[in-house]
């Protein structure tokens, strides 16, 4: 061992230096039982991180290193989470609820998506340029005004593309063309004012599913 604390080993293949491997990452929630399955992250205006998992929703506070289980999260199998332009945290999960948390007041509000399916899940959520929240579910698209107290409502401007209501929406992307939805039935392009503009799948455009 030299004066730097490094261990040198001489061998028939040359000299080797042994040193301790640096720690590149800090693991969070790795000690949970059962093990968590992290589905999404969001950051509030104070730099706190919200993680939704299949065993609840957690707040990670980087400034202190503290991890806190959110009070309602024992009932949540989280799927998606975002922070809106007002700083509120919105959470979807494997049930017909949309949860909202206001960090400034530590207030929770839950909204109900009116469905009767035996299994229902909110797979994705996005806030678009108008401020409206779009919720992608196992039964199509729902919308929510984040400034009112009304429950989310299903998007009904289908223009004959009724397959959307039977589709699971995995991701939502807003572009200048409109709102793109990736689903288990291909891609849908939606204009929020005029309705579904296009459905792209294997039959219409050779898009493999």
How is 103-136 classified by DSSP, letter by letter?
Answer: TTTTEEEEEE-----SS--EEEEEE-TTS-EEEE
Residues near 189 by Cβ (< 8 Å), separated by ≥ 6?
177, 178, 179, 180, 181, 196, 197, 198, 199, 200
Confidence check: pLDDT of 31 > 80: no
Confidence check: pLDDT of 137 > 80: yes
* Per-residue model confidence (pLDDT) at position 115: 85
Average pLDDT over residues 4-9: 84
Joined together, the tokens standing for residue 159 give: 């223009």
Average pLDDT over residues 121-147: 96
Average pLDDT over residues 31-58: 86
The 3-state DSSP composition of the chain as helix, strand, coil percent (nearest 5) reads: 5, 45, 45
Instruction: Decide: residue 1, CB within 10 A, 0-12 exposed, 13-18 middle, 19+ buried.
Output: exposed
- Rounded Cα–Cα distance for residues 139 and 128 (Å): 20
Distances in Å between the Cα of 94 and the Cα atoms of 17, 73, 138 are 51, 12, 10
Average pLDDT over residues 120-130: 95
* Per-residue model confidence (pLDDT) at position 44: 94
Instruction: Considering only residues 123 and 65, tell me which one the structure prediction assigns the higher pLDDT.
Output: 123
* Per-residue model confidence (pLDDT) at position 78: 86
Task: Give which of 175, 120, 118 is closest to 142, Cα–Cα.
Answer: 120
Average pLDDT over residues 58-86: 86
Contact (CB, 8 A) for 51 and 57: yes
How far is C-alpha 97 from the chain's CA centre?
A: 14
Least confident of 108-112, 173-177, 186-190: 108-112
How many secondary structure helices (H) and strands (E) does the chain include? Answer: 1, 18
Contact (CB, 8 A) for 201 and 187: yes
Confidence of residue 209 (pLDDT cuts 50, 70, 90): low
Confidence check: pLDDT of 159 > 70: yes
């Amino acid at each position: 061992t030299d004066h730097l604390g490094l261990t040198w080993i001489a061998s028939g293949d040359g000299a080797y230096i042994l040193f301790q491997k640096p720690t590149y990452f800090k693991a969070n929630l790795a000690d949970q039982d059962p093990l968590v399955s992290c589905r999404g992250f969001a950051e509030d205006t104070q730099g706190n991180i919200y993680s939704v998992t299949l065993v609840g929703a957690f707040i990670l506070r980087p400034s202190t290193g503290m991890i806190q289980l959110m009070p309602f999260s024992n009932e949540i199998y989280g799927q998606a989470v975002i922070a809106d332009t007002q700083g509120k945290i919105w959470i979807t999960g494997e049930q017909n609820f949309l949860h909202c948390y206001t960090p400034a007041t530590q207030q929770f509000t839950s909204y109900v998506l009116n469905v009767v399916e035996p299994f229902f899940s909110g797979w994705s959520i996005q806030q678009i340029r108008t401020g409206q929240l779009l919720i992608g579910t196992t039964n199509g698209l729902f919308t929510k005004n984040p400034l009112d107290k009304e429950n989310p409502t299903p998007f009904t401007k289908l223009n004959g593309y009724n397959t959307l209501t039977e589709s699971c929406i995995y991701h939502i992307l807003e572009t200048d063309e409109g709102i793109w939805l990736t689903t288990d039935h291909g891609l849908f392009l939606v204009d929020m004012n005029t309705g579904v503009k296009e459905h792209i799948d294997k039959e219409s455009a050779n898009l493999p599913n």
